[in-house]
């Protein structure tokens, strides 16, 4: 006769004592048996075990006694579970190959794009909308492109600012004077004349590349990214430049941000400007973080005729503007970022990087 048929007839008190008997027997079994963990588990908690059958008969217990029996049943189960796992641990009964397929899994770590890559993608998209195309130019280049072609003759003091890494290279002695020295490009402006040399006009390029300078502090690292815009067409004005700068500032930094341009000097633009963006913390009023409400973003200007000529662009028909900024610096100025040190971006500390 099965236990199920049996219990329908036994009163609740007897059911409880039956439970306690099962418990005692199981405890004894756990203590004495040499069976494997799985075997013990199956015999105590398996489908055919007395405990399981008794639990199934709970629905036959009178309503008013259900709670009492339920509590006892749970206690019996818990205490047997504990005893079994204690024994398993002590006697090494647990089979290492055993796997609980119902246990929640462990998620493997999931990576995401580095924040600088995310910023590069965002910048590219913003300029795409204005019709600028992302291009790539060498990050290791003849020094002609980042310097001489940009109206900085050899030994001109202006080139001091770029703290360039030169690469020891024998050059082509006696051959092309422009292909003598190799540098790690200190700015993306090396792409200006290179882009013009393609001979396709008008130009609307956005050149994003790594740049290298011998510098390291809270706002500088020796390898960083710049993005360089170049627009060459007929009748380009400073107004166009300002329009593009404002569009970018609002799209990238937030709709409340504004730009301003201040006179500056670069050898390769005339006039030249330094571009500022209104501070995201104080909204242009002036605070601890900014200079009277403005943060410096980078350089810009109308492309110098010497540069256009070096790129074989007819200066009687075409003119244009250029600008070049640091990607990391721009990212740090984004509303809500509040990063005051550039170095963690390249520190490879996942705890920092996974926040973005
Ligand atoms: N290349 C300049 C720099 O690195 C910035 C710049 C780009 C200025 C284009 C004017 C035009 O500081």
Q: What is the dihedral of CA 39, 40, 43, 47, to 10 degrees?
A: -70
**Residues near 133 by Cβ (< 8 Å), separated by ≥ 6?**
204, 205, 206
- The pLDDT of residue 191 is 98
Helix (H, G, I), strand (E, B) or coil at 114: coil
- The pLDDT of residue 124 is 98
Task: Say yes or no: CB of residue 209 within 6 Å of ligand 1.
Answer: no
C-alpha to C-alpha distance for 334 and 104, rounded to whole angstroms: 39
The verdict on pTM exceeding 0.75 is no
Ligand 1 atom at minimal distance to the Cα of residue 272? 10
Ligand 1 atom at minimal distance to the Cα of residue 188? 1
Which parts of the chain sit beneath pLDDT 50?
Answer: 1-7
Say if CB 277 and CB 285 are below 8 A apart: no
Ligand 1 atom at minimal distance to the Cα of residue 324? 7
- The pLDDT of residue 177 is 77
**Pair of tokens at residue 12:** 């609740």
- The pLDDT of residue 269 is 98
Task: Say yes or no: CB of residue 322 within 6 Å of ligand 1.
Answer: yes
Ligand 1 atom at minimal distance to the Cα of residue 186? 4
Task: Say yes or no: CB of residue 324 within 6 Å of ligand 1.
Answer: yes
Ligand 1 atom at minimal distance to the Cα of residue 211? 4
C-alpha to C-alpha distance for 90 and 278, rounded to whole angstroms: 68
Beta strand 223-233 with 203-212 is antiparallel
Phi, psi of 24 (to 5 degrees): -60, -45
Say if CB 191 and CB 207 are below 8 A apart: yes
C-alpha to C-alpha distance for 197 and 191, rounded to whole angstroms: 10
Phi, psi of 26 (to 5 degrees): -65, -40
Q: How many angstroms separate the alpha carbon of residue 126 from the centre of ligand 1?
A: 20
Could you give the C-alpha distances from 246 to 91, 148, 225, 340, 345, in angstroms and in order? 73, 31, 21, 24, 26
Q: How many angstroms separate the alpha carbon of residue 148 from the centre of ligand 1?
A: 14
Ligand 1 atom at minimal distance to the Cα of residue 323? 9
Pick the residue whose CA is nearest to atom 7 on ligand 1. 324
C-alpha to C-alpha distance for 251 and 129, rounded to whole angstroms: 11
Q: How many angstroms separate the alpha carbon of residue 100 from the centre of ligand 1?
A: 61
- The pLDDT of residue 1 is 42
Angle, vertex CA 99, rays to CA 98 and CA 100, nearest 5:
130
- The pLDDT of residue 36 is 80
The span from the first CA to the last CA of the chain, in angstroms, equals: 66
Q: How many angstroms separate the alpha carbon of residue 156 from the centre of ligand 1?
A: 16
Mutate-to-test residue for ligand 1 from 194, 263, 298, 328, highest number of ligand atoms within 8 A of CB: 298
Task: Say yes or no: CB of residue 323 within 6 Å of ligand 1.
Answer: yes
**Residues near 179 by Cβ (< 8 Å), separated by ≥ 6?**
142, 144, 171, 172
Ligand 1 atom at minimal distance to the Cα of residue 303? 11
Mutate-to-test residue for ligand 1 from 137, 229, 268, highest number of ligand atoms within 8 A of CB: 268
- The pLDDT of residue 95 is 59
C-alpha to C-alpha distance for 136 and 190, rounded to whole angstroms: 11
Task: Say yes or no: CB of residue 300 within 6 Å of ligand 1.
Answer: yes
Q: What is the pLDDT of residues 195-223, one digit of tens each?
A: 999 999 999 999 999 999 998 888 889 99
- The pLDDT of residue 13 is 82
The count of other CB atoms within 10 Å of the CB of residue 249 is 23
Q: How many angstroms separate the alpha carbon of residue 272 from the centre of ligand 1?
A: 9
- The pLDDT of residue 59 is 77
What residues form DSSP beta bridges with 223? 212
- The pLDDT of residue 335 is 66
Task: Say yes or no: CB of residue 245 within 6 Å of ligand 1.
Answer: no
């Amino acid at each position: 006769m099965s236990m199920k048929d049996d219990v329908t007839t036994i009163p609740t008190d007897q059911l409880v004592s039956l439970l306690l008997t099962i418990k005692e027997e199981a405890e004894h079994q756990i203590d004495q048996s040499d069976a494997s963990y799985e075997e013990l588990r199956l015999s105590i908690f398996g489908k055919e075990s007395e405990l399981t059958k008794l639990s199934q008969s709970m629905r036959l217990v009178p309503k008013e006694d259900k709670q009492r029996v339920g509590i006892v049943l749970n206690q019996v189960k818990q205490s047997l579970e504990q005893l079994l796992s204690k024994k398993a641990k002590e006697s090494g009964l647990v089979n290492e190959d055993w796997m609980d397929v119902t246990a929640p899994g462990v998620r493997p770590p999931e990576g995401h794009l580095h924040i600088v890559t995310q910023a590069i993608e965002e910048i590219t998209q913003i300029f795409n909308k204005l019709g600028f195309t992302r291009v790539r130019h060498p990050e290791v280049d003849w020094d002609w492109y980042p310097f001489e072609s940009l109206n900085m003759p050899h030994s001109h003091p202006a080139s001091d600012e770029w703290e360039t890494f030169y690469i020891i290279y024998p050059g082509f002695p006696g051959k092309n004077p422009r292909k003598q020295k190799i540098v790690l490009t200190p700015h993306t402006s090396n792409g200006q004349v290179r882009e013009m040399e393609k001979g396709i006009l008008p130009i609307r390029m956005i050149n994003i590349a790594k740049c290298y300078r011998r510098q390291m502090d809270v706002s500088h690292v020796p390898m960083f990214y710049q993005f360089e815009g170049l627009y060459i067409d007929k009748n380009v004005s400073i107004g166009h430049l300002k329009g593009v700068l404002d569009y970018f500032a609002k799209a990238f930094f937030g709709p409340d941000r504004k730009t301003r341009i201040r006179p500056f000097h670069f050898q390769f633009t005339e006039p030249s400007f330094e571009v500022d963006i209104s501070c995201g913390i104080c909204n242009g009023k002036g605070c601890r973080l900014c200079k009277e409400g403005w943060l410096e973003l980078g350089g810009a200007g109308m492309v110098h005729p010497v540069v256009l000529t070096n790129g074989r662009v007819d200066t009687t028909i075409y003119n244009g503007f250029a600008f070049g900024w640091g990607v990391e610096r721009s990212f740090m100025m984004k509303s809500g970022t509040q990063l005051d040190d550039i170095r963690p971006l390249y520190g490879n500390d996942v705890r920092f990087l996974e926040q973005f």
